Chain A
Amino acid sequence: MTIPSRVIVDDVSIVLCGEAGKGIQTVERLLTPLLMSAGFNVFACKEYMSRVRGGSNSTEIRVSSQKKVAYVERIDILIPLDKDAIPHLANRISQSTVIFGSTKELASGLPIVDVPFDGIAAEVGGAIYANTVAIGLISGLLNVELSVVGKFLEKFFKSKPDEVVRKNIEAAKRGIDIALSFSGAGKIDVRVKPDERVKSDMLAGGAEMIAAGAIAAGCNFVAGYPMTPSTGILTFLSQHAGKFGIIAEQAEDEISAVNMALGAWYAGGRGFVCTAGGGFALMVESLSLAGMIESPLVISVGMRPAPATGLPTRTEQGDLEHALYSGHGEFPRIILAPSTVENCFELSKKAFDMAGKFQCPVIILSDQYLVDTIYNAVPFKFAGAGDNHVTMTAAGYRRYALTPDGISPRGIPAYGDGFVNVDSDEHDEDGHITESMDVRSAMVEKRLRKYEAIKKELIPPELIGASDYETLVIGWGSTFGVIKEALEIIADPRLAALHFTQVHPLHPDGAGYITRAKNRVIVENNATSQFGKLIKLSTGMEIENKILKYNGMPFSVEELVSGLREILAKGALK
């Protein structure tokens, strides 16, 4: 066997691929904290098929000296766990990709460094240890010592019998030994520098951070119907329900879930629903109900490619217009699109506060890519939101009292002497059905007046790069990481990016940044540039350059770099 000669410096992209149920996720769950505990910056994202067993799923783990939090197409090290993995990733495998696996089993025309994971695992004690051999191999390539790996495995498997722990360590040792036999100068030379500070980081994932934000904000009621990619949020909240006094219920359908959440807010709880585009479509009548009864409501929508069932397990930013224009009638709403895993926490928390304060629905628009992204983050305080924005009522309380800012003090039943009456019909200040045209007009104006209060607390877009830019790259939500890294690579002082995390209502600063640019590029994970249309609506500016992707995968750093370079070159010719 010839060992290829490769030098991989500062940033290594490791991909594991195999059929569903083969434990790729377990490897990710083990390897990411293990590498972080060894001081490496880690980033992981995954793509998977909509099936329980079989198919080909892959996880990318980027290990880097400097923190990198974006998907790259490039694969430096590939561990295919079965025969189908190599064809599945054919477009991403290049001559510089080092593939480890059993030459015999993979039967591929590509050069493979022969590591018979299953055979080694069998020697250790069974096929179940194959993944740990792979973990050892990767650890070895990154020069992580056996003692560090062993300590981690002991902790990870602490609830398992001693024999299991011992065999896992043995399997990892075998992996490390193999790695050492072909790593180093002239062979496979991976030079990523650990950073002492990373060891005290926390490993954070998008789904968990959306859930954590809700918890910090005082969410105490969640109802949902399982739907990729949002199930993880519901699962997290359910698993920690007792600890935080959260009622977590799997509803019979999304319509039930959202009406439960509205009932929860009405009775003084802080209700949350999490779903994807299709489930959100079912909730839409109730979104309108929230608008009418002026109930707070927080809905997390994890976007995935549609129409209809689409590509159920993949990613897209295709539901912005759905979130914005859904629901019959005219009523205020707020749409937040988290940009990073940390921002998932911040915005999820903020969503509850905004919903309570403005008594309107707030939609958190994430996507499969972001909710399934994990990386090491500097630990933050998880500080909670204080006020629950509820008033004790007095006799004669009027739920829809007309106020200058349109926001009526919100009472809840049995908290004070007043009665709390809410109605989906047009209603008077007491909440009773009315068909008075005068009252109707007053109530429409009252509800829409809340937009003025909302507009005082908008989240401004973030400028990445110098303010004397010529070309401005515009993005929203989960594309933050990839746009930022692409800009760092291009390193052109004339290039900056403007990133939005509140996509409705838009902060007025956005228009100023956009109109000031000589050239504009919009980057969106959808086919029709939905955010571009929104910008045109609010600024009148047509964004001339669009980089759009809608095949179900997130943008890679490479394709964004080349797309932007192309546009920059075009601009230079002008």
Chain B
Amino acid sequence: MNPKEYDVGDVDVAWCPGCGNFGILRIVKQALAELEIDPRRLVVVSGIGQAAKAPHYLKTNFFNGLHGRAVPAATAIKAVNPGLVVIVESGDGDMYGEGGNHFIHAIRRNPDITCLVHDNMVYGLTKGQASPTSQVGFKTPLQVAGVTEQPFNPMAVAVAMDASFVARAFVGDVSGTKEIIKKAITHKGFSLVDIFQPCVTFNKVNSYQWFKEHTYNLAPSHDPHDRLSAFQKAIENEKLPLGIFYVNENKRVFEDTLDAYQQDKTPLHQRTSNRSAVLSKLFS
């Protein structure tokens, strides 16, 4: 499949020239094409933020909801029609700030959805405030003396919670990121891919160069089924590892646990049943 099938044509893209989001968009299209995913059965769900605008630049179905609330919507979309491929495109603020509670509970719930978190360590759309992943000391118009809070560590949290698929990528590494995204999409269960991407306008610290210098690829010997070593890798902060930290294929997937599918696998909207007889019996 040609990635161009995902092109929307002439569209006014709201991202700044040089924004890391462009790279992620290109990579996502390639990954989807290589996986031969029919755009008609794909749904991209997002919240609010610059990253959350990504679905508008993909020719497919999308649900662009509220800030922080993409994950619950995505969970239900997948649950109601498990035949759909459901991807969440979100930013560090959308997923880890406003949506933090949903992020944690989605890991517990383990729906078969893929979360691509465009992580640029800053709030872009609201013009340059700190994000949950901003580094200590990062100065902004709001955090004038620099950020004092410890950055949220999505890898460590996800591994600690035994998330089904936990990975980090850097948009500067096109083929590495693409492979991770493909594995995340094909993985059955909740997949998190935190993708480093520079905000060229509001984050002058964590630039392409900075990410290049401060990241390294996990060694091929890293065993993603070893949770302890995944956690060790997740808490490294001198240089930040990239790659698939952790995979647990043995977790039950949310949709598979639902009573509604135990006897009938048909998507809910295609079902017709006469409920009145059963209800009458229930109350007789």
Q: Which residues of A are interface residues toward B (Cβ below 8 A)?
A: 202-204, 208, 212, 215-216, 218, 220-221, 223, 240-249, 251-253, 255-257, 259-264, 266-269, 271, 285-286, 289, 293, 379, 381-384, 388, 390, 412-415, 417, 419-425, 431-433
8 Å CB interface, B75-106 against A? 75-81, 83-84, 101-102, 104-105
Q: Is there contact, CB below 8 Å, between A268 and B268?
A: yes
Q: Which residue of A lies closest to B264 (CB)?
A: A245
Closest 10 pairs (CB-CB, A-B): A268-B269, A263-B76, A263-B73, A242-B259, A382-B279, A269-B80, A259-B72, A252-B105, A260-B76, A267-B80
Q: Is there contact, CB below 8 Å, between B56 and A204?
A: no
- Residues from chain A with Cβ under 8 Å of B104 in the complex: 252
Q: Is there contact, CB below 8 Å, between B48 and A424?
A: yes
Contact of A202 (CB < 8 Å), options: B63, B264, B267, B283: B283
- A285-B39 contact in complex given A256-B102, A379-B283, A415-B269, C-beta closer than 8 Å: no
Q: Is there contact, CB below 8 Å, between A264 and B79?
A: yes
Q: How far is the CA of A383 from the CA of B274 in the complex (A)?
A: 9
Q: Which residue of A lies closest to B280 (CB)?
A: A382
Q: How far is the CA of A379 from the CA of B74 in the complex (A)?
A: 40
8 Å CB interface, B30-72 against A? 39-41, 43, 45, 48, 53, 55-56, 59-66, 69, 72
Q: Within 8 Å of chain A (Cβ to Cβ): is B235?
A: no
Q: How far is the CA of A208 from the CA of B279 in the complex (A)?
A: 11
Q: How far is the CA of A204 from the CA of B283 in the complex (A)?
A: 8
Q: How far is the CA of A317 from the CA of B91 in the complex (A)?
A: 41
Q: Is there contact, CB below 8 Å, between A247 and B258?
A: yes
- Mask of B259-284 contacts with A, CB within 8 angstroms, 1/0: 11011100111010111101110111
Q: Is there contact, CB below 8 Å, between B73 and A384?
A: no
Number of A-B contacts (CB under 8 A): 191
Q: Which residue of B lies closest to A256 (CB)?
A: B72
Q: Is there contact, CB below 8 Å, between B276 and A256?
A: no
Q: Within 8 Å of chain A (Cβ to Cβ): is B14?
A: yes
Q: Is there contact, CB below 8 Å, between B76 and A384?
A: no
Q: Which residues of B are interface residues toward A (Cβ below 8 A)?
A: 11, 14, 39-41, 43, 45, 48, 53, 55-56, 59-66, 69, 72-81, 83-84, 101-102, 104-105, 109, 258-260, 262-264, 267-269, 271, 273-276, 278-280, 282-284
- A263-B275 contact in complex given A240-B282, A382-B280, A419-B39, C-beta closer than 8 Å: no
Q: Which residue of B lies closest to A377 (CB)?
A: B283
Q: Is there contact, CB below 8 Å, between B59 and A268?
A: no
- Residues from chain A with Cβ under 8 Å of B48 in the complex: 424
- A267-B279 contact in complex given A242-B260, A414-B41, A419-B40, C-beta closer than 8 Å: no
Contact of A267 (CB < 8 Å), options: B43, B53, B69, B264: B43
Q: Is there contact, CB below 8 Å, between B56 and A420?
A: no
Q: How far is the CA of A385 from the CA of B106 in the complex (A)?
A: 33
Q: Which residue of B lies closest to A262 (CB)?
A: B73
Give, as a whole number of angstroms, the nearest-CB distance from B266 to chain A. 9
29 A–B contacts, CB within 8 A, in A order: A208-B283, A212-B279, A212-B282, A220-B271, A221-B76, A221-B79, A221-B80, A242-B263, A247-B268, A255-B69, A256-B102, A257-B72, A259-B72, A260-B72, A264-B80, A267-B78, A267-B267, A268-B268, A268-B269, A269-B269, A271-B76, A285-B66, A286-B66, A379-B280, A382-B279, A382-B283, A414-B81, A419-B39, A421-B62
Q: Is there contact, CB below 8 Å, between A382 and B56?
A: no
Q: Which residue of B lies closest to A422 (CB)?
A: B63
Q: Which residue of A lies closest to B68 (CB)?
A: A255
Contact of B62 (CB < 8 Å), options: A223, A286, A388, A422: A422
Contact of B101 (CB < 8 Å), options: A241, A256, A422, A433: A256
- A422-B64 contact in complex given A252-B101, A263-B73, A433-B53, C-beta closer than 8 Å: yes
Q: Is there contact, CB below 8 Å, between A260 and B276?
A: no
- Residues from chain A with Cβ under 8 Å of B274 in the complex: 384
Interface of A is mostly: mixed
Q: How far is the CA of A266 from the CA of B63 in the complex (A)?
A: 8
With A223-B72, A242-B259, A260-B76 already in contact, 6 other A-B pairs whose C-beta atoms are closer than 8 Å: A218-B275, A241-B258, A247-B258, A382-B276, A420-B61, A423-B64
- Residues from chain A with Cβ under 8 Å of B55 in the complex: 421
Q: How far is the CA of A245 from the CA of B84 in the complex (A)?
A: 18
Q: How far is the CA of A423 from the CA of B269 in the complex (A)?
A: 22
- A268-B65 contact in complex given A414-B40, A419-B40, C-beta closer than 8 Å: no
Q: Is there contact, CB below 8 Å, between A259 and B66?
A: yes
Q: Is there contact, CB below 8 Å, between B77 and A414?
A: no
Give, as a whole number of angstroms, the nearest-CB distance from A95 to chain B. 40
- Residues from chain B with Cβ under 8 Å of A241 in the complex: 258-260
Contact of B65 (CB < 8 Å), options: A249, A262, A271, A384: A262
Q: How far is the CA of A425 from the CA of B65 in the complex (A)?
A: 8
- A223-B76 contact in complex given A262-B65, A414-B83, C-beta closer than 8 Å: yes
- Residues from chain A with Cβ under 8 Å of B276 in the complex: 216, 381-384
- A289-B269 contact in complex given A221-B80, A260-B73, A267-B80, C-beta closer than 8 Å: no
Contact of B72 (CB < 8 Å), options: A263, A390, A420: A263
- A413-B75 contact in complex given A216-B275, A218-B275, A245-B271, C-beta closer than 8 Å: no
Q: Is there contact, CB below 8 Å, between A267 and B269?
A: yes
- Residues from chain B with Cβ under 8 Å of A248 in the complex: 259
Q: Is there contact, CB below 8 Å, between B75 and A260?
A: yes
Contact of B40 (CB < 8 Å), options: A244, A379, A417, A431: A417
Q: How far is the CA of A415 from the CA of B55 in the complex (A)?
A: 19
Q: How far is the CA of A221 from the CA of B60 in the complex (A)?
A: 24
Q: How far is the CA of A242 from the CA of B259 in the complex (A)?
A: 5
- Residues from chain A with Cβ under 8 Å of B41 in the complex: 413-414
Q: How far is the CA of A257 from the CA of B69 in the complex (A)?
A: 10
Q: Which residue of B lies closest to A204 (CB)?
A: B283
- Residues from chain B with Cβ under 8 Å of A286 in the complex: 66, 69
Give, as a whole number of angstroms, the nearest-CB distance from A32 to chain B. 13
Give, as a whole number of angstroms, the nearest-CB distance from A199 to chain B. 12
Q: Is there contact, CB below 8 Å, between A419 and B45?
A: no
